[in-house]
Amino acid sequence: MTASRAESESVRTFQSLRHELVALAYRMLGDAGRAEDVVQEAWLRWSRHEEAVESARAFLVTVVTRLCLNELSSARARREESRTDRLPEPVDLTEAGMARLEVVEQVSMAFLVALERLTPAERAVLLLHEVFDFSHLEIAALIERTPATSRKLLERARRRVADGRRLVTASREEHARLLAAFVRAASAGDSAALLDLLAADAVLVTDGGEKGVSDGRFRNLRQPLTGRSRIARFIAAVSAQRGLNVSFRELNGRAAALFSREVEPLAALLLGVDRGKIHRVYFHADLARLRFLGRAGGVRQPS
């Protein structure tokens, strides 16, 4: 095989796996921009790798996982993930290079929030075993633990994400209906209607970034707000925002509301729904991490 042909084959192999790598990095980090950087670095390592590999998929998944674990060990990542108000970055799966991802549960906001509550090792074990079919022997070598420890981490991770998975069981139609009703009630400041839509133990999380929500249009909460009465009162009290456009689009595989001024996104509203009630309200207003919603082509192609 000539050098140019081998290079072309290398590019094709990477491109065929790219959507999986992007999805893995995004789920590990909860940030589309950082996921983009990790996948780009994986491409550079793949393009420079000269030795034959038995499985390109296993090799690249391993590279991306290790890069993500390194990223999560940084002081910045530890500080960010210690915030109780931090939410994963919402993404349009098509624009972020994850359109081929079939299991919405694995990229739903509720599941990603649950993932962020796991340790980096638990996160890696869960994704590698359940999504990429890695054996515990393979995972143990990657995370530098024993296979027995890998099994324990998986069991613990499954228990801790069970609630996030439950909140993705509603049909697309029911989810969209509840979202539209919630936006109508919030816009009208109708606390009674909001009470009817929310589950008794509902939780509201607002993320305005480390320094709070920009331009004073949205009130930030540093701690999650629990209970439908408190949430309904809060939303009714702060819903009198004016001069903003509200549009509906699919984010993280489910209908979501996007608030914008002209063409610039200011906030995204996503829900966790189960049995006809809203159990989670995720309000993301960190402008620095909403940039992928304002432009197409969220992830660079390898250069």
pLDDT digits (tens, 9 = 90+) for 74-132: 867 777 767 778 899 999 887 766 655 556 667 899 999 999 999 999 999 999 999 89
Alpha-carbon torsion, ordered 16, 32, 42, 24, to 10 deg: -60
Tens-digit pLDDT profile for residues 191-246 = 999 999 999 999 999 998 776 554 555 556 778 999 999 999 999 888 765 567 88
| pLDDT for position 68 | 97
110 and 198 belong to one structural domain:
no
Residue 300 included in any domain = no
Alpha-carbon Rg for the chain in angstroms = 20
- Cα 244 → chain centroid: 25
Residue 52: how many CB atoms within 10 A of its CB? 5
Domain range for 7 is 3-165
57 and 111 belong to one structural domain:
yes
156 and 12 belong to one structural domain:
yes
85 and 117 belong to one structural domain:
yes
| pLDDT for position 301 | 34
135 and 191 belong to one structural domain:
no
CA distance 78 to 197: 35
Q: Which residue has the tokens 């919603």?
A: 293
CA distance 221 to 198: 19
30 and 142 belong to one structural domain:
yes
How many domains does the chain divide into? 2
More confident residue, 60 or 300: 60
Helices (H), strands (E): how many in the chain? 11, 6
Residue 143 included in any domain = yes
10 and 153 belong to one structural domain:
yes
77 and 104 belong to one structural domain:
yes
Residue 298 included in any domain = no
CA distance 135 to 34: 27
Q: Which of 62-71, 101-110, 188-197, 271-280 has the lowest mean pLDDT?
A: 101-110
187 and 117 belong to one structural domain:
no
138 and 66 belong to one structural domain:
yes
Task: Find the mean pLDDT for residues 43-58.
Answer: 89
Q: What does pTM read for this prediction?
A: 0.86
15 and 161 belong to one structural domain:
yes
